[in-house]
Amino acid sequence: MPTVADKLEELFAKLRTLSRQRQELAVEALAEIADPAPYDLSEEERGILEPALERAKRGEFASDEEVNEAINKPWS
């Protein structure tokens, strides 16, 4: 059974075959994961999340119909 280290090495080998642009994306993602510092939300992100958290605190959640509509909405 492969160890985590084995799996990482296999993934790194695959990453080395990707285009430079995709490798850069992988580096950014791994750097985010490896960084122990918490993520700081931007003002724009806070503006989106804070009202949603307030609605959740009040028990206001999307209906099943709204959830299904969002899940089944085509990506544009």
d(CA 66, CA 34) in angstroms, rounded, equals 36
Q: How many domains does the chain have?
A: 2
How much is the pTM?
0.49
Q: Is residue 8 domain-shared with residue 26, that is, in the same domain? A: yes
Give the residue numbers spanning the domain of 21.
4-34
Q: Is residue 47 domain-shared with residue 28, that is, in the same domain? A: no
Q: Is residue 47 domain-shared with residue 68, that is, in the same domain? A: yes
Whole-number pLDDT of residue 27 = 96
Q: Is residue 29 domain-shared with residue 49, that is, in the same domain? A: no
Q: Is residue 12 domain-shared with residue 30, that is, in the same domain? A: yes
Write out the chain's pLDDT in tens, 76 residues.
999 999 999 999 999 999 999 999 999 999 989 988 888 899 999 999 999 999 999 999 999 999 999 999 988 7
3-state secondary structure the chain: CCCHHHHHHHHHHHHHCCCHHHHHHHHHHHHHHHCCCCCCCCHHHHHHHHHHHHHHHCCCCCCHHHHHHHHHCCCC
